[in-house]
Amino acid sequence: MEIGKKIVELRERKGLSQRELARRIDLNPSVMNRIETGERPLRADELKKVSDVLGVNADEILGSNPKPLTKDEKDIAKRMEEIREDLTKADGLSFQGEPLSEEAVESLMDAMEYIVRQTKKINKKYIPKKYRKDEDQ
């Protein structure tokens, strides 16, 4: 079962609306919707929050045999946490003089994640094979 569908099932079993779950884990409802429909992956920090709110083990959300994260996925997750921390520490995040909403911050994080993934992919193309490390390490 897909992660998004599993979250919907567990959320409904708990009697929570999508909006309420999003509020409890401090996510924009539109982002929660994209996670539940499979349009956006669930990040590790979000998985922890969702499992806590729903009162289940993270493995139950991921399925009985969760696929282990590759080294690249771990690196990307770590980098995204650093970027999120940098953004939240900044005073007065704004765009064209207007403060950024939570939804705007989430959109910015999604765009940054795409950039980090693409950059990692492009950089791999230019590393000679003899210097490339196995992706699954």
CATH (domain of 21) = 1.10.260.40
Q: Quick one: 78 and 58 in the same domain?
A: no
Q: Where are the alpha helices (DSSP H) in 16-101?
A: 18-24, 29-36, 44-54, 58-62, 71-89
Q: Quick one: 14 and 55 in the same domain?
A: yes
Closest CA to 45 of 17, 84, 8: 84
For residue 90, is it within any domain? yes
Q: Quick one: 44 and 77 in the same domain?
A: no
Query: What would the two tokens of residue 48 be?
Result: 């922890």
- Tell which of 18, 40, 62 closes a domain: 62
Rounded-to-integer distance, Cα 7 and Cα 32, Å = 10
Q: Find the domain containing 37 and state its range.
A: 3-62
For residue 136, is it within any domain? no
Count the residues in the chain: 137
**Residue 79 identity:** R
Separation of first and last alpha carbons in the chain: 26
Q: How many CB atoms lie within 10 A of CB 135?
A: 10
Rounded-to-integer distance, Cα 20 and Cα 18, Å = 6
Cβ atoms 32, 18 nearer than 8 A: yes
For residue 58, is it within any domain? yes
Dihedral through CA 65, CA 66, CA 72, CA 75, nearest 10? -140
Spell out the per-residue pLDDT of the chain, length 137, in tens: 588 999 999 999 989 999 999 999 999 999 999 999 988 888 888 998 999 999 888 888 887 555 666 788 788 888 888 887 777 776 667 778 788 777 787 788 888 888 888 888 887 776 666 766 655 44
Q: Quick one: 87 and 113 in the same domain?
A: yes
Cut 0.75: pTM above it: no
